[in-house]
Amino acid sequence: MYEQIFDKPKMTQKLLMKPPFRYLHDIFIATIQATGFGNGIFDEAECDTKANHEKDAKLNILTKMITLTEMVVGEKLDVKPSKIVAGLEPERTNYFL
């Protein structure tokens, strides 16, 4: 689905098996740039895909992503930002995507 919206990042099986924070961040930023969906949710520093985000910043960004997604789909998602940052529960992370 995402490959129809943007060219990068590539949706590879290797990355989707255990999606790292940077990959998820790049997907959301590319979606915002291509569609405008979620425009304004992140400040300038949060939009910087190359920034070395601290753990708290990563958790804040993921919380915003999850909350926005929950609002759109109309249901609570069974995914926790802390688990995503730790690389745990990749099946739930993929469900979130």
Q: Does residue 82 sit within a domain?
A: yes
**For position 35, which CATH number holds?**
1.10.418.50
How many CA atoms does the CB half-sphere of 30 hold within 13 Å?
Answer: 16
Mean pLDDT of the 85-91 span = 94
Residue 11 lies in a domain: no
Q: What's the pLDDT at 53?
A: 76
Task: Give CA separation, 7 vs 28, 30, 66, in Å.
Answer: 13, 9, 23
pLDDT of res. 6 = 80
Answer yes or no: is 89 within a domain: yes
Query: What pTM did the predictor assign?
Result: 0.87
Is 5 inside a domain boundary? no
What pLDDT does residue 11 have?
82
Range of the domain at 60: 18-39+50-96
62 in a structural domain: yes
What pLDDT digit, counting tens, does each position of 20-67 carry? 999 999 999 999 999 998 999 999 999 997 887 799 999 999 999 999
Identity (one letter) of the amino acid at 32? Answer: I
Instruction: Tell me the pLDDT tens digit for each residue of 65-77.
Output: 999 999 999 999 9
Report residue 24 as tokens. 């998820």
Which structure tokens are listed for 46?
Answer: 């949060």
Q: State the pLDDT at residue 51.
A: 83
